[in-house]
Amino acid sequence: MTQERRAQLSPIAQLGDAALRLVGDTGAMFLFLLESFGRIFRSWGQFPKTVRQIYFIGVKSISVITLISLFTGMVIGLQMYYALAKFGADGFLGAAVSLSLVRELGPVLTAIMITGRAGSSMTAEIGVMRISEQVDALRVMDINPIGYLVSPKLAASIICFPILTAFFDLVGIVGGYLTGVLLLGGNSGVYWYRVSAYLKMNDISGGFIKSLVFGVVVCTVCCYMGYYTHTRRDAVGPEGVSQATTAGVVTSCVLILLADYVLTSLLF
C-alpha cells in the first residue's frame, strides 16, 4: 500500500491494518524460524559456519557479560544485605542473590546484552547484504540465503545463550559475595551454604529453558528484520537497515520481557 493510500484510511481502518500486519509478521517470523531451524542440519558445511558464529556471538560477548554480571551481583548483594539485615536475616543473602540471579536476572540480562551486542549486528549484516543484492546473488547461486546466513546464527544462539547465562549466574553470585561478605562483613560460610541449600535443580533448569527460548527469539527476530529490510515501509536503503536494526533490538527486548513473564508463571 502506498503512503497516500494509508493516509486516507480512517483511524479504525489503520488500526485494522496494523493488526493484520502484526498477525502476518508473527506468522511469517514463525515460518522463518522453522525454515532456518530445519536448515541447521542440512549439511556438514553448516558446522564451520556455526563455529564462527559461536565465536562472534559467544566468545566475544564474554567480557561484557563478565562486567555486567559482576556489577549486577554486587548491587544485589549490597541492596539485599541492607534489606535482609533489617529483619536480622542477613544470613539468607546467599539464597536471595543466587535465586534472583538464576531464575530471573541471569537469563534476562544476558539475553538483553547479547541482543545489543550480537543481535544488532545480525540485523545490520543481513540487511546490508539484502540491499546490495548479495542475498539475490546467493539465491541465483542456488545457495539458500536462510540456510547460509540465518541457520548458523540460530544454532550458535541456541548453544551460546545458555552457556553465557550460566556464566552470568556464576559471576553474579561471586559479585554478591564480594559486597555482601567481603565488603559488608557477612559470614562467608553461611553465604555459600545458603547458595547451595536453596538453589534447586528446578530453578537452574528453569533458567536454562528461559535462556534457550530467549536465544531463539532474539536470533529469529533480529535475522528476520534484516532479511526483510527491503520490504520496510518506513525507510529504504541504508536508513532502512538502520530502522530494521532498531526495530530488531527493540522488538527482541520487548519479547524477552514478555516471554520472561509467561515462562516464569509457567515454570515456577
- Binding residues for another protein, rule: CB under 8 A, are 45, 125, 128-129, 132-134, 136-143, 148
Residue 4 or 142 having the CB closest to another protein? 142
Q: Are 102 and 93 in contact, with CB atoms under 8 Å apart?
A: no
Is 115 in a helix, a strand, or coil? helix
User: Please, what is the minimum distance in Å from the beta carbon of residue 217 to another protein?
Assistant: 25
Residue 170 makes CB contacts below 8 A (sequence gap 6+) with: 69
User: Please, what is the minimum distance in Å from the beta carbon of residue 32 to another protein?
Assistant: 17
Residue 79 or 144 having the CB closest to another protein? 144
Residue 139 or 200 having the CB closest to another protein? 139
Pairwise CA distance, residues 129 & 114, whole Å: 22
Is 43 in a helix, a strand, or coil? coil
Residue 21 or 139 having the CB closest to another protein? 139
Residue 233 has which C-alpha cell?
A: 515501509
Handedness of CA 94, 100, 105, 106 (dihedral sign): positive
Residue with cell 540487511: 127
Residue 128 or 190 having the CB closest to another protein? 128
- Residues present in the chain in total: 268
User: Please, what is the minimum distance in Å from the beta carbon of residue 64 to another protein?
Assistant: 22
User: Please, what is the minimum distance in Å from the beta carbon of residue 37 to another protein?
Assistant: 18
Residue 138 or 209 having the CB closest to another protein? 138
Q: Are 92 and 84 in contact, with CB atoms under 8 Å apart?
A: yes
Q: Are 111 and 218 in contact, with CB atoms under 8 Å apart?
A: yes
User: Please, what is the minimum distance in Å from the beta carbon of residue 130 to another protein?
Assistant: 11
Pairwise CA distance, residues 144 & 39, whole Å: 9
- Main-chain dihedrals φ then ψ at residue 133, nearest 5 degrees: 65, 10
User: Please, what is the minimum distance in Å from the beta carbon of residue 95 to another protein?
Assistant: 47
Residue 78 or 138 having the CB closest to another protein? 138
User: Please, what is the minimum distance in Å from the beta carbon of residue 163 to another protein?
Assistant: 25
Q: Of 156, 84, 94, nearest to 121 (Cα)?
A: 156
Element (H, E) at 57: helix 46-57
